[in-house]
Amino acid sequence: MKKVLALWSNDQINEEESRILRATCADLPIPLDAEAKKSVRDLVEAFLERDDASGLAAPQIGISKKIIIFRNRGFSKDGASDGTWTRKDVEVLINPRITQNRGNQIVLAEGCLSCPDIKVEIARYPEIKVRGFDVHGHKIGKRYLDFVARIVQHELDHLEGKLIVDYDEGSFFVPKKKRSFFETLFHKQSG
């Protein structure tokens, strides 16, 4: 399985992986050239070989380019699987940007493969409009709702180097045995 970069692992900060995860990603060239197509393929493969992620962004596998992939259906409103998801229910967005946020923000605890062992409460919009390009480099405009809108907002954050630990308005959920590690970590980040 392809390695997913993480800010920390086993009570150790990963300096080099953090640097990549924290970088702002570059746009892919449109039309897609050979290198861009390879980056897209690598992300699709990395995502399809796992069943523990609802979305993945290119920087998480070390590619600092604006590509995300996510499951686009099969969730209940709170993000649980409704059991109807298949491998075809996957969508790629290239150079995506949100053009409209709608509705009242909803708070829900999110996890991230790049921030192992923790969950953070984050307020996100229940409806967004996005412009960008599809997997073939064709221009698209899409609307996403509820949990899928949340995933897209989460993955778009990755493209700006933003992670769930950067949201400090809600509660953090950290396993008890790891509490001392995270206390040092957050002291380090704030100091």
Residues that bind Zn ion (CB under 5 A): 112
Burial label for 106, CB within 10 Å (0-12, 13-18, 19+), is middle
Least Å from the CB of residue 20 to Zn ion: 13
Query: Is residue 169 annotated as a catalytic residue, yes or no?
Result: no
Q: Which residues fall within 8 angstroms of residue 86, CB to CB, at 6 or more apart? A: 74
Q: Residue-wise over 69-84: b if at least 16 C-beta within 10 A, else e?
A: bbbbebbeeebeeeee
**CB of 28 or CB of 115, closer to Zn ion:** 115
**Strand pairing partners for 71?**
90
Q: How far is the CB of 69 from Zn ion (least distance, A)?
A: 12
Of residues 155, 160, 169, 183, which has the active-site annotation? 155
What is the identity of the amino acid at 34?
Answer: A
Which residue in the shown chain puts its C-beta closest to Zn ion? 112
Taking the C-alpha atoms of residue 35 and residue 93, their distance in angstroms, rounded to an integer, is: 16
User: What is the rounded end-to-end Cα distance, in angstroms, of the chain?
Assistant: 36
Residue closer to Zn ion by CB (options 16, 52) is 52
Q: For Zn ion, give the closer residue by CB, 47 or 125.
A: 47
Give the whole-angstrom CA distance, residue 116 versus residue 160.
Answer: 19
Complex with Zn ion: residue 133 or 157, whichever CB lies closer: 157
Asked if 130 and 93 touch (Cβ cutoff 8 Å), the reply is yes
Q: Which residues are catalytic?
A: 155
